Chain A
Amino acid sequence: MRFVGAALRSASMVSSRGRAVLVRTAVNQLRFTTVDAVPLLLLVGTLVGLTVLVQANLHASELFGGTLGRIVAATVVREVGPLVTAVLILGRSGTAIAAELATVGTLGERDALEASGVDPYQYYVLPRVGALVLSGALLTIVFLAAALVLSGLVAAVLGLIPAAAFFGSLQLALLPTDMAWAILKGAVYAGGIALFCCHAGLFAGDRATGIPQAVTRGVVASMVFIFAVSAAFSIVLYA
């Protein structure tokens, strides 16, 4: 909590000249976390969507004909989509952030910045948190598009489901509020990942052995955060 407080205080003290530097860092982070990750998100989203579709189709046809779209929407949009997106962000970008910031400590970069009057929270944490929050929201949309649309098309081409019935029921089942909550969840998960991984990296010490330890700490803390927040969202929104 102290770390979050320090980061927030730093955010309120950025000068206009410093802001340009931070925006440039955030754009780089955004490119790596979002743009470069789109192919992976499309692939995994399609595969996860297919997996859910096959199971949902099995039960939907047995129990409630025509409810395939509802089951998929409820499962993918409300729960699986933001969660898997967060895990992918953690695997690609969270680990990279923790390793990068831990390396920065071993190279003396962080101390040199502090000795020059540059706030490490401003320079390292703010752009990464900002970029990951935005990435979390955008990549959740990408994942959901792949998991709902691409997987539906693939399943239809493979003859696993009737395409018209699926997309018809999906259209009826998709609620704007569910989409909005999913995007918000994606942003919250990614923001948490950025904070935990930045914290782990910045406080990794000045030895090389601290780098893998920082990555492990960042990943474990982020995982616990993601699943705890996911459970909390489910209880508050749907229980």
Chain B
Amino acid sequence: MSASVLTLRVASTDGVPSWEREFEPGAVHIVEVPAGWGGQLVRLAVGLPARLDGRATLLGSDLAALPRRERLGAVREVGVLPQPDGLVSNLTVRDNVRLPLHFGRPAPHGAEEETDTALRLCELEGIAGVRPTDLTLDLRERAALGRAICGRPRVLLLGEPLETHPRRGAVRLLAGCLARTGTTIVFAADPERFAGLDTMHHSTEIRHHALGTR
């Protein structure tokens, strides 16, 4: 079994040469990717159909090759911020954040406490009872981030996160979320947005990668 948390192999696409990269556990990986690729790489990693042609091995499994039930079981250990956010429109922010806990994601401190923590870290306490349709795009994204970190995901995969947030706010939110997981992989079209992360978050090594850029 590979020691890496995630191995990505992406075929040549839109003039970007093919590339392969392994992401080691226990670090924050900020990966520079072409705009629009972040969400697609996250989809590729968790075994969903993606516009990019490639393969991914996440936590030792090629999720795209697994039967649906096993794939669902495997991704419960992963927190994902997809693009679009995919919040369930008839649930409140709070119910959206804790939804994965109802369906098997580990919640070592109990579902309510884990949910409260995620809401606090993503600064969502004031809008916990609001439905996503009543939120602005940046608030929706924070709610989706809360869903990704709720519980104890082993890996956090973020596809071009917090792009509509002011830079300082985005770094502060991300720094708060990093403590919730062992490994975080951020696919960012503008990694400079997270340049201040090193100074705000000292407990985990932060690695910068430039992959698939033109």
A residues lining the B interface (CB < 8 Å): 6, 9, 13, 15, 17-18, 20-21, 28, 107-119, 122-123
Cross-chain contact B46 with A122 (CB below 8 angstroms): no
A-B CB contact pairs (8 Å), 20 listed: A13-B69, A18-B103, A20-B102, A28-B90, A108-B86, A110-B86, A111-B86, A112-B84, A112-B144, A113-B86, A114-B48, A115-B48, A115-B82, A116-B79, A116-B103, A116-B105, A117-B78, A117-B100, A117-B105, A123-B103
A114 to B86, CA, bound (A): 10
Q: Closest residue to A10 on the B side, CB-wise?
A: B69
Question: B95 to nearest A CB, angstroms?
Answer: 8
Cross-chain contact B103 with A15 (CB below 8 angstroms): yes
Chain B residues, CB < 8 A from A15: 102-104
A-B interface, 4 closest residue pairs, ranked by CB to CB distance from nearest: A112-B86, A117-B76, A108-B86, A108-B84
Mark B94-107 against chain A: 1 for CB-CB distance below 8 A, else 0: 00000111111100
A112 to B146, CA, bound (A): 13
Cross-chain contact B80 with A112 (CB below 8 angstroms): yes
Q: Does B73 contact A (CB under 8 A)?
A: yes
Cross-chain contact B105 with A115 (CB below 8 angstroms): no
A119 to B70, CA, bound (A): 11
Residues of B within 8 A of A (CB-CB), count: 33
Chain B residues, CB < 8 A from A111: 43, 48, 82, 86
Q: Does B206 contact A (CB under 8 A)?
A: no
Q: Does B2 contact A (CB under 8 A)?
A: no
Cross-chain contact A107 with B86 (CB below 8 angstroms): yes
A172 to B164, CA, bound (A): 72
A112 to B89, CA, bound (A): 12
B residues lining the A interface (CB < 8 Å): 42-43, 46, 48, 68-69, 72-73, 75-76, 78-80, 82-90, 99-105, 111, 144, 147-148
Cross-chain contact B100 with A118 (CB below 8 angstroms): yes
Chain A residues, CB < 8 A from B85: 108, 112
Instruction: Assess A109 versus B88: contact at CB under 8 Å? Given A114-B72, A115-B42, A115-B48.
Output: yes
Q: Closest residue to A206 on the B side, CB-wise?
A: B49
Instruction: Assess A21 versus B99: contact at CB under 8 Å? Given A109-B87, A119-B72.
Output: yes
Q: Closest residue to B144 on the A side, CB-wise?
A: A112
Chain B residues, CB < 8 A from A112: 80, 82, 84-87, 144
A111 to B40, CA, bound (A): 12
A112 to B80, CA, bound (A): 8
Cross-chain contact B75 with A114 (CB below 8 angstroms): yes
Other-chain contact of B80, A6, A115, A123 (Cβ < 8 Å): A115
Chain A residues, CB < 8 A from B88: 109, 113
Other-chain contact of A118, B78, B84, B99, B144 (Cβ < 8 Å): B99
Chain B residues, CB < 8 A from A113: 86, 88, 99
A20 to B144, CA, bound (A): 22
A111 to B72, CA, bound (A): 11
A29 to B42, CA, bound (A): 33
Chain A residues, CB < 8 A from B144: 112
Cross-chain contact B103 with A118 (CB below 8 angstroms): yes
Question: B134 to nearest A CB, angstroms?
Answer: 15
Chain A residues, CB < 8 A from B148: 116
Chain A residues, CB < 8 A from B69: 9, 13, 119
A109 to B86, CA, bound (A): 4
The residue in A21, A110, A114, A123 that gathers the most chain B C-beta atoms within 10 A of its C-beta is: A114
Chain B residues, CB < 8 A from A117: 72-73, 75-76, 78, 100, 103-105
A159 to B78, CA, bound (A): 71
